[in-house]
Amino acid sequence: MPDNTLPSPVKLPVIEGPTQPAPSPELADLYRGFEQEMLIPLWYEIGDLMPGKPQAKAAPWLWKWSDLLPLAEQAGDIVQVGRGGERRAIALANPTLGGRPYISPTLWCAIQYLGPGEDAPYHRHTQNAFRFVVEGEGVWTLVNGDPIPMRRGDFLPQGTWNWHGHFNPTDQPMAWIDGLDIPFQYATDSTFFEFGPEQFTDEERTTPQQSRSERLWQYGGLTPEKYAAQPIPFSPLFAYRWANTDAALTQQLAMEAEGHDVTVEPGHAAVRYTNPTNAGDVLPTIRTSIHRLRKGAATAPRREVGSSVFQVFDGAGKVSVGDRTWSVTRGDIFVVPSWTTFSISSEASASDSDSGALDLFRFADTPIFEKLDLYRSEIDA
Ligand SMILES: [Fe+2]
């Protein structure tokens, strides 16, 4: 028997329009019956449910690092970090997503802040996660008991269901960004979460310069024979160091200058972080990459299914997303909603550390749509 104790949320006032049936008392009576039985006819909703192309629910938006960091520091003074709240992580809330802590319908992006001597306790969850460090150092991330140092430019992915925590053994605070697929897993009711031990052990609380994960997996193209036939769905390499990323980008632009066709477009070098066990994305649901635009270079305007988030790592530039245009500099974070045209250009500025190039970290939900054969992209000529 149906449970009729819930009030029906379905409201179907008779509406007029070219695709609607002619209003009549009989139609109104039919709609009362639909409301009572919780039924909604397709003719009533089709324009919203099945538009001709994606109508992004998220808005293009920019958060300035110069606004985020002082608020994270303020939280550091006032808010304890520990069991329960788990992390001093402050999520970027897209203004058109109903006040939820989502930067896009699928992605979470937060600034996390850990003060001197503080711990963020062990837990694990099905959500895939990563850290990216735009400035500072001094925090170690523990993954399954393996302490991993975090420094400027490092990318630290952490696939589903690994135990993880953070500790800061230094006398300086540190902030970084976290990216996760929380909204996607929340919307699809696929989330699991467990608390870990209250304290880190003395053995865990060590500060090696190199993690065990890196000692095993950092040698690109050299897979430990023991694991060669066992693809792992997330990357077992838990830190991708800036020195390697920087060298790869530098070589791409140098080779382009020598006449080789190795960049994604003129003046635009890019590398994708990949899983050494299967050459795919580091995380099953999130694609991550670093882009370097030579001074004066610009990307072709493009749009893609799915949403992405950029953080400026170095340099400065102009960004256009939909009908918004911003000047960006180190640390700034912006979101590109689904099927929204965007382009980025590099401009010299006082915040450059090098040649005037613009370096950007990007994360996107692309793997979800590729796996489901829903991914599309277009580039404006
Ligand atoms: Fe976590």
Ligand 1 centroid from CA 322, angstroms: 32
CA separation, residue 81 to residues 130, 167, 168, 175, 192 (Å): 19, 11, 12, 14, 22
8 Å CB contact between 154 and 219: no
154 — phi, psi (to 5°)? Answer: -80, 145
Ligand 1 centroid from CA 227, angstroms: 26
Ligand 1 centroid from CA 132, angstroms: 14
| Ordered domains of the chain (ranges, CATH) | 1-50 (no CATH), 61-227 (2.60.120.10), 242-379 (2.60.120.10)
Ligand 1 centroid from CA 255, angstroms: 39
pLDDT tens-digit series, residues 278-337? 999 999 999 999 999 999 999 999 999 999 999 999 999 999 999 999 999 999 999 999
44 — phi, psi (to 5°)? Answer: -80, -25
Has this prediction a pTM greater than 0.75? yes
Ligand 1 centroid from CA 249, angstroms: 30
Ligand 1 centroid from CA 353, angstroms: 32
Rounded Cα distance between 152 and 314, Å, is 11
How many other C-beta atoms can be found within 10 angstroms of the C-beta atom of residue 246?
A: 18
Strand order in the sheet with 108-114: 89-91, 108-114, 174-180, 129-132, 155-158
Ligand 1 centroid from CA 72, angstroms: 18
How many other C-beta atoms can be found within 10 angstroms of the C-beta atom of residue 75?
A: 16
Ligand 1 centroid from CA 165, angstroms: 7
Q: State the burial class of residue 42 (Cβ atoms within 10 Å of its Cβ: 0-12, 13-18, 19+).
A: exposed
What is the model's pLDDT at position 1? 52
pLDDT tens-digit series, residues 201-257? 999 999 999 999 999 999 988 999 998 878 899 999 999 999 999 999 999 999 999
Ligand 1 centroid from CA 286, angstroms: 15
Ligand 1 centroid from CA 129, angstroms: 7
